[in-house]
Amino acid sequence: MEATLTATTASHLITSHTLPSTFPPRKFSLTFLGNQRKPISTLKQTSSSSSSSSSSHSPHLRVSANSQAAPASSSTETSKVASLPYEMKAWVYGEYGGVDVLKFDSSVSVPQVKEDQVLIKVVAAALNPVDAKRRQGKFKATDSPLPTVPGYDVAGVVVKVGSQVKDLKEGDEVYGDINEKALEGPKQFGSLAEFTAVEEKLLALKPKNLDFVQAAGLPLAIETAYEGLERTGFSAGKSILVLNGSGGVGSLVIQLAKHVFGASKVAATSSTGKLELLKSLGADLAIDYTKENFEDLPEKFDVVYDAIGQCDRAVKAIKDGGSVVALTGAVTPPGFRFVVTSNGDILKKINPYLENGKIKPVIDPKGQFPFSQVPEAFSYIETNRATGKVVIYPIP
């Protein structure tokens, strides 16, 4: 029997997830000056005794903020940040491997802020397949040194700004992908932590109509979707086939192609149960990959956006002179592959479409995990069955 989503179910996928009644916090305020929370201004005097006591917690995973040395703060900054802690809760791995290498650590140093960076109190973070591949060691040649606090996507509140930060200020609600180059030296201090330090240029103000969970799921996926479309020269009146239309990236490629770039026709692939979702996002043609081979269809496309790793088949589905952009797997000419560059300007460009509801975040109905269940969230994304995004919320 063909199992399809009802329209109600499809809209549930886009908008509905349970949030605590206190959510969203309109303005984040620092209230944690408890026993374990020492003022950051005392870091130099107390860090050695602190790390020797906390090292009994997990000695091989000690992560020091000093490994990302920052310029000295101005006296103004120091007085502003007097209430910030210097240790935080974070997920950390000290070796590459399966989900079991992930360890919870309640005394990771809060990262120091470089002059072009802001410190964000993380409210929600999202997982991407790159988090899993990085943890498995697939990019170890170009990775930053272990131990690693994983996490690319963040939505949160600015709690400190570096001396060269121009536009952002404390209290701003922001979102972004914290790693400018996904595979080249991604930060040692990621977003699966209470705090993360990020260059201002990688961030944008959070769209006003979205909560932190919705915003956290967007940056890496929507920047990839947008950059890939631009790289194919996609423009109004062109047709596109999206392979993996129900994933984090593909669900946004469909919407951007249709509602921002002005596609003449959008086709997309998924398994049977997700076809209605594809249509609700703007697909004119939803192809069930369990029943049909897209390359055997008589219709050909100006662009195929391959978000699954089927470039050899994708090149058979383009018109003469068409383009195939591939995110993963082997590339068959004329297909090409790129790796996303994080860029806050893309988020700023897309924000109006998010705020007017033309582009909607897609969060997997089972895809919201509390901070304590980060390993379960990794296991879920690694099934390769998630619909839209997997988000970590709440974060302590």
Ligand X SMILES: NC(=O)c1ccc[n+]([C@@H]2O[C@H](COP(=O)([O-])OP(=O)(O)OC[C@H]3O[C@@H](n4cnc5c(N)ncnc54)[C@H](OP(=O)(O)O)[C@@H]3O)[C@@H](O)[C@H]2O)c1
- Which residues of the chain form contacts with ligand X (CB under 6 A)? 128-130, 182, 221, 224, 243-244, 246-250, 269-271, 274, 289, 307-308, 327-328, 339-340, 381, 384-387
CA–CA gap between residue 313 and residue 49 (Å, rounded) = 59
Residue closer to ligand X by CB (options 149, 308) is 308
Question: Residue 362 CB, nearest distance to ligand X (Å)?
Answer: 9
The tokens describing 392, both together, are 């970590």
Q: Are strands 195-199 and 336-337 parallel, antiparallel or unpaired?
A: unpaired
The CB-nearest residue to ligand X is: 247
Question: Residue 180 CB, nearest distance to ligand X (Å)?
Answer: 12
- Cα→Cα distances 329→51, 134, 326, 338, Å: 42, 16, 8, 11
Residue closer to ligand X by CB (options 81, 268) is 268
Question: Residue 53 CB, nearest distance to ligand X (Å)?
Answer: 39
Question: Residue 218 CB, nearest distance to ligand X (Å)?
Answer: 12
Residue closer to ligand X by CB (options 131, 172) is 131
- Cα→Cα distances 18→133, 184, 363, Å: 29, 36, 11
Residue closer to ligand X by CB (options 85, 129) is 129
Residue closer to ligand X by CB (options 158, 377) is 377
Residue closer to ligand X by CB (options 169, 385) is 385
Question: Residue 247 CB, nearest distance to ligand X (Å)?
Answer: 3
Q: Whose CA is closest to 243, among 213, 197, 286?
A: 286
The tokens describing 374, both together, are 């980060």
**DSSP secondary structure of 23-51:** -S-SS------STT---GGGHHHHHHHHH
Question: Residue 147 CB, nearest distance to ligand X (Å)?
Answer: 22
CA–CA gap between residue 58 and residue 103 (Å, rounded) = 9
Residue closer to ligand X by CB (options 1, 72) is 1
Tokens 């977003």 sit on residue: 191
Do the Cβ atoms of 318 and 300 come closer than 8 Å?
yes
- Cα→Cα distances 64→103, 117, 131, 188, Å: 16, 18, 21, 10
Question: Residue 190 CB, nearest distance to ligand X (Å)?
Answer: 16
